[in-house]
Structure 1
């Protein structure tokens, strides 16, 4: 069946400028970290990607090791591109990353020039692309000079293999240094991709200020706290949930009675606004305009449709924001 994109796809999506660049991203972007690997059903992934595009989601985020197995998410996305989206390539923002373990030996991870260029070449081959729109250093490498990593990102842009470059999981101090080095090379840092949610607010302690002061955008991953800020855990821990899996971000030990009380209270606040908990959590991440885009994951089309509706109500009253702070800062049984 030939795919034809929804002609009204740009009517309801909100697009935000990335820092002081010329690029805009959809307020909701789709990440292919989970559920798009070789072990997953291809047609489900295909339906999610095309439905996302029909809803105005133009940004699809990958990394070299996404799967499982590693690399397979890029291969699956490449197949979807070939079957459905090739005619729309110039309407898409496709990103990938390198930094975590990808292949054996001393050149298969971290931030060396050898690894980053080799990894991007492999990613382009898997997706059958000439270039990606954004290429990220996925994590700071404490043993490689930051100058080498940033000079490599500069080289990648100048070689035409990426239009822009970003970093992910860098601290405020590391980010400031990366911005300075890239600026001196003439290739500005476009964007930072940190974890951020109501339950994980580390970027508020300096990183957001660095980004804002330097005109760098941000895209928040795990804005729903690996599903904790959805209705999934409101009635216990499902057997097929992330908490029951080997997730490095969300384990069963994280879902304490105190945490569940907070989630229930947040859910009540969301309901009073006429939103689901997931919509409420996404709106909160985007609330101040400091975050360019919220990067969602999905296992089915209906989740994408629900999450996009968060954009219908992004404004918060001072009372609602204060209520969120009260809930999050409540300790114990009080």
Structure 2
């Protein structure tokens, strides 16, 4: 194994043999079915060597897509710097084999220009992200959330400008409602930079993308926009981690993103029932949860986090998951009910 930081990284020659790459809507971009999300475990609270091992392991498995945002840490912004360092040291000659995305929308700079969907903030943040990641461009630049205080035309123009300037290859949005998605998709088309991808939260216990007429998933299919799901494991709730109480050192005890109420009795009951279905299918709950999200044709990829390399190998096996039978899907529907996990909803429906 890699014992020190100076060893050179040679990617696995088999890295493209088993991963499935899926189209992103009508665009020419392909994403691996499983992508690496850097929301957790890439801040300054994680040793750089651990981060390096996770990123290398991901790429060796054919996970070519690394997903960042301006504020990921802790502290704010440190994930982009840390990942940028690993990319510069290990992936300098592999830039054309990887997809790097970042986002702007939530609080980042101090003062009045530090958040939202305005051009000054969005484009300023993108420049900051490029400096932090040591890259000339990102592959996908997202509006991280809908901003009710900025005209959608301005947010669309900022995304269009990011692509035209060569600082981003594709434009995306995250956590926008179906109606807002339709609106910005039209604006982007008029500007000549079609919206390529939407990143919503979506899991067995958070199915908002299926709700409404038309639903977000329906809207994305109609508009030819790809979809990459985040929190497909509901912050770890859809693993076996919490079935026997709350383990020490888990996200639930760190007060990170699992808030009180997420580990409600009802949620834990449903997770236990879903785990039994997964056991009957001969797979871990987390694998079934990822496969269930991936079963939808609109889904280009699911984002998974990892605190150690072995978790990625397990996640990638979701791609080889047996097909769901009609009976299994019906039984899953009994327990795959809303667990009040969508903490991003307020920003999407404003």
What interval of TM-score do these two structures reach, taking the shorter chain for normalisation? over 0.9
Residue 274 of structure 1: how far off its partner (Å): 1.2
Cα-to-partner distance string for 1:234-258 (whole Å, 9 max, x where unaligned): 111112122223334x223221222
* In 2, Cα distance between equivalents of 1:19 and 1:59: 16
* In 2, Cα distance between equivalents of 1:77 and 1:254: 30
Q: Which residue of 2 aligns with 1:253?
A: 261
Q: Which residue of 1 aligns with 2:35?
A: 29
Conserved in 1, the CA contact under 8 Å of 2:205 and 2:338?
no
Residue 92 of structure 1: how far off its partner (Å): 0.3
Establish whether residue 295 from structure 1 lines up as the match of residue 303 from structure 2.
yes
Moved more, 292-301 or 308-317: 308-317
Establish whether residue 237 from structure 1 lines up as the match of residue 243 from structure 2.
no
Conserved in 2, the CA contact under 8 Å of 1:284 and 1:314?
no
* In 1, Cα distance between equivalents of 2:52 and 2:155: 34
Establish whether residue 68 from structure 1 lines up as the match of residue 77 from structure 2.
no
Establish whether residue 41 from structure 1 lines up as the match of residue 50 from structure 2.
no
Q: Which residue of 2 aligns with 1:172?
A: 178
Conserved in 2, the CA contact under 8 Å of 1:244 and 1:251?
no
* In 2, Cα distance between equivalents of 1:220 and 1:310: 14
Q: 1:153-168 to 2 correspondence within 5 Å?
A: 153-168=159-174
Residue 314 of structure 1: how far off its partner (Å): 5.0
Residue 199 of structure 1: how far off its partner (Å): 0.1
Conserved in 2, the CA contact under 8 Å of 1:245 and 1:251?
no
Q: Which residue of 1 aligns with 2:104?
A: 98
Conserved in 2, the CA contact under 8 Å of 1:29 and 1:57?
yes
Residue 51 of structure 1: how far off its partner (Å): 0.3
Q: Which residue of 1 aligns with 2:128?
A: 122
* In 1, Cα distance between equivalents of 2:333 and 2:154: 41
Conserved in 1, the CA contact under 8 Å of 2:206 and 2:337?
no
Q: 1:1-334 to 2 correspondence within 5 Å?
A: 1-205=7-211, 206-248=215-257, 250-328=258-336
Moved more, 316-325 or 257-266: 257-266
Q: TM-score, normalised by structure 2?
A: 0.92
For 1:252, what is the secondary structure of its paired residue?
A: coil
* In 2, Cα distance between equivalents of 1:302 and 1:279: 13
* In 1, Cα distance between equivalents of 2:128 and 2:262: 36
Cα-to-partner distance string for 1:53-80 (whole Å, 9 max, x where unaligned): 0000000000000000111100111111
* In 1, Cα distance between equivalents of 2:49 and 2:157: 40
For 2:303, what is the secondary structure of its paired residue?
A: strand
The size of the alignment, in residue pairs, is 330
* In 2, Cα distance between equivalents of 1:27 and 1:20: 16
For structure 2, the 5+ residue unaligned runs are: 1-6, 340-350
Residue 329 of structure 1: how far off its partner (Å): 5.2
For structure 1, the 5+ residue unaligned runs are: none
Conserved in 1, the CA contact under 8 Å of 2:205 and 2:337?
no
For 2:229, what is the secondary structure of its paired residue?
A: strand
Q: CA RMSD in A?
A: 1.3
Residue 189 of structure 1: how far off its partner (Å): 0.1
Conserved in 1, the CA contact under 8 Å of 2:238 and 2:271?
yes
Moved over 4 A (4+): none
